[in-house]
A and B are shown apart, each in its own frame.
Chain A
Amino acid sequence: MTERPIFDKDLLDRCISCGFCLPACPTYAMTGKETSSPRGRITLMRALETGRLDDDDPTLAEESSFCLGCRACETVCPAGVQYGSLLEQWRDHQWQGRRRPWIARVLMAVVSRPALLRLQRLVRRHASGPARAAAPEAPVSLMLGCVERGLYPGVSRAVRRLRPEVSVPAGQGCCGALHAHNGDSEGGARLARELGGRLPGTIVTTAGGCAAHLAHHVGRDRVKELSEYLTEAGYEPAGQVTVDGRRARAALQDSCHLRNGLGVTRPPRELIAAVADYVELPGAGDCCGAAGTYAMVRPADSRAVLDPKLDAIEAADLDYLVTVNPGCLRQLQQGLRRRRSRVKVVHLAEFLALAGG
């Protein structure tokens, strides 16, 4: 038996088991089982803490992994339970060493080594360099997310087109969200603080997941997700996004941690509506199943979460689906490609750049 406490007592005591979280939980919707609801998982955490359940109990292993970590439960919890933090503490215990999913181990090793991150640059060119416009009074740094750096270099290039005053400091590391969500919250916190120390001024990020994690560790006031930053900076789009000469129809897929962790929902919608006909998808705020490493660790469950969303997207007659997090971008691109859908999935930065921003 490992050392107790595993959980921060104040956090664990917060839950009164009222069950208000049940309707918000994607995995409870899938199984209808108490064990895969936020309330049930907190009961499991308590059973782990008190020793009612053994450390190697299979339900503990399964449910700590089955949870998407989307934090939708937090927004409906009147008792203010910080479920995301509890999940991090649970996985710290549950996923020590070799019990961590191997994909997560590989990814964490890659992003922890700047040399390997630099290798990505040989393959893809992303924007980097100092601000191109007159330096603003306070410096603004664009944080390059690890996934985006590798897979979507166009996103950061688009940001610099939209806002030339943003500088892109070289030598950035990982923000640590990946670590925090995969059983190394201490490492995650350290990486966030280090990155916060390296990037001067306001940190702008194009990844909702990174934004929430960084804000938690370096302070909410220092971190702006792109849509927040653009809105506060008074960004005005130059034109419209058009398809065949008409205004495009576009919808947003929220980023869970941006919505549920930081409470940012309006800015991305308003920006899309400024350049296109905005369509609110049913369930736009529900998790798409990407959920960090989840899509790779649990592909079948990830698809089961995604499928109803793909149905909603196809039924909405869209031209574009706009995302604010690279994980969602990848998940939805792959999902819609499998269905041979004509809907284009883009990041908000690229979408606004299409309007000639």
Chain B
Amino acid sequence: MTAKLAEALAGIVGPEHVSVEPGALAAHARDATPLFDAMPQAVVHPGSAEEVAAILRYATAEGVPVVPRGAGSNLCAGTVPLHGGIVLVLTRLNRILEVSRDELLARVQTGVPTAKLAAAAAEAGLLYAPDPGSHTVSTVGGNVATCAGGLRGLKYGVTRNYVLGLEAVLPTGEIIRTGGRLWKDVAGYDLTRLLTGSEGTLAVITEATVALLPKPETTGTGVAYFPTLADASRAVTAVIASGIVPATLEFLDQKCIAAVEEFAGLGLRADAGALLLFGDDGQAATVEGNLARIEGICADEGALEVTLAEDVARADALLAARRCSLPALSRLGSLTVLEDVSVPRHRLAGMVARIDEIAAAHDLLIATFGHAGDGNLHPTCVLDPDDGEAIERCHQAFAEIFSAAIALDGTITGEHGVGAAKLPYLEERLGGDQVALLGRIKRAFDPAGILNPGKLGS
């Protein structure tokens, strides 16, 4: 079986881009999600959309599962080959094809790391706004497939707001181009948006055309410390209510502050119950004015201390520290189970309180950080990997956290995706009719059911 598969794949991409050795298979049995692990039969690195198409035609004919993968940094077990088959690694498709100042767009192959796209845009005086925490690692294709969010979501939205068009390969082998270079285009169902967030279950994305913005003249960042997360949440609501939509409103709870400080050594205050990282960009006078107003509102809401970053280096260091919250937390215990619930912004404090109650009821250490401005929280349970009983309690606690989020008009995942990790909870969020519709859409794209089986709509 493996020999036949390897030979067929080698015939398409060349033997040097096919791996069937046990070592290569073991390295692709997991992604950044803990507790999920399954061995594929082959790993293949195609070099073009045409090669992807040939692989998918073969897989559909033979009924072999195919799991598309970028950098494997997703946090929902979206790229774990639950049913074996082929892991299709798209990192060879790594060229930036075009950055256009005239049209304010870029065209990139799917395997370009997001930070490289952002850097190429910046070089042309432009901004690629989506900036997920993993942007140095994760790929544009992976970001589109999960509709990744980031630290600027409040003001700028998420990946879906920037995808103008896609080149994608259907499981049956056709190469389609959706959308294009147009801001207005209502010809047909919006397949660009359907594929965005489809988690590799409908088609393999091979190229993306994304919208860019003029680079803001300046950016500014500040930090406010509060006695409790509830105080910080109140300040967030007050900031938005005052008419300011800042680029960044991120928070860390006390446990996260301590972990991040240990890694980054930025002199963060360990005695505070919550840290609010705020930032804005735009014209210098506007940024300065907005930051001053946020500073004032935080003080009014009981902040222990508010400081503005004196320079870009300090601001970058603060943002980088926020980005590494998850791995920094792993210093407390080597198994970190992180989730991604999202609630309407004004319910953030209520959700945080529910998380704390649930953690206490199950005797678990759950630290929470996230995007306060979006109501998107990342409760992270820190565990001993050998304590099976605690892992069981953790699963129970997260089931309750998902239910709590839904009860607060929220969702089970804001930006990480459903993957294999949250599929059991999808029906609770969507209802049976929508889940059935997802299944029908999936079958329309993928009649043989080969693409990322065991995930959305399968």
Contact = CB atoms under 8 A, between A and B. Distances in A.
Contacts of B32: 16-19
A18 B45 contact: no
Contact of A59 (B24, B113, B134, B137): B24
Contact of B21 (A17, A20, A32, A58): A58
B233 interface: no
B336 interface: yes
Instruction: Say what secondary structure dominates the interface of chain B.
Output: loop
A224 B138 CA distance: 38
Interface string A216-252: 0000000000000000000000000000000000000
Contacts of B385: 13
A301 interface: no
Interface string A41-78: 00110010000111001111011000000000000011
Interface residues of B, number: 39
B201 to A, nearest CB: 22
A59 B23 contact: yes
Central interface residue in B28, B91, B137, B328, by most chain A CB within 10 Å: B137
A49 to B, nearest CB: 12
A14 B334 contact: yes
Contacts, number: 103
A31 B140 CA distance: 19
A33 interface: yes
A52 B334 contact: no
Contacts of B134: 18-20
Contacts of A151: none
B165 interface: no
Interface in B271-285: none
A53 B27 CA distance: 11
Interface string B1-44: 00000000000000000010111101111111010000000010
Given A16-B32, A17-B32, A40 B327 contact: no
A13 B263 CA distance: 17
**Which of the listed residues A47, A59, A79 has the most CB atoms from chain B within 10 Å of its own CB?**
A79
A26 to B, nearest CB: 16
Nearest to B262: A80
A32 B324 contact: no
Residue among B19, B23, B73, B94 having the largest count of chain A Cβ atoms under 10 Å: B23
Contact of A18 (B263, B327, B334): B327
Contact of B27 (A10, A34, A77): A34
A35 B91 CA distance: 13
Interface in B338-361: none
B22 A53 contact: yes
A32 B136 contact: no
A78 B19 CA distance: 30
A16 B23 contact: no
Contact of A40 (B27, B34, B137, B328): B27
A79 B334 CA distance: 9
B330 A79 contact: yes
B326 interface: yes
A53 B331 contact: no
B72 interface: yes
Contacts of A16: 32, 34, 326-327, 330, 334-336
B137 A19 contact: yes
B277 to A, nearest CB: 16
B92 A79 contact: no
Interface string B317-336: 00000001011101100111
Nearest to A43: B27
Select the residue from A13, A18, A40, A59 with max chain B CB neighbours within 10 A.
A18
Nearest to B23: A59
Contacts of A10: 334
Contact of B31 (A13, A17, A22, A35): A17
B232 interface: no
B21 A79 contact: no
Given A19-B32, A23-B136, A44 B327 contact: no
Contacts of A47: 23, 26
Interface in B104-126: 113, 115
B324 A20 contact: yes
Interface in B33-59: 34, 43, 45
Contact of A20 (B27, B45, B91, B137): B137
B334 A32 contact: no
Contact of B327 (A43, A63, A77): A77
Contacts of A63: 23
Contacts of A23: 113, 115, 136-137
B137 A14 contact: no
B23 A18 contact: no
B89 interface: yes
Nearest to B34: A16
B324 A78 contact: yes
Contact of B23 (A13, A32, A60, A80): A60
Nearest to B259: A78
Given A53-B23, A59-B24, A78-B328, A19 B72 contact: yes
Contacts of B115: 23
Contact of A44 (B26, B92, B336): B26
B328 A79 contact: yes
B71 interface: yes
The 8 closest A-B pairs by CB, nearest first: A59-B23, A78-B324, A78-B327, A13-B334, A79-B327, A47-B26, A19-B73, A40-B27
Given A10-B334, A22-B71, A32-B91, 6 more contacts: A18-B137, A18-B326, A19-B134, A44-B27, A54-B22, A57-B23
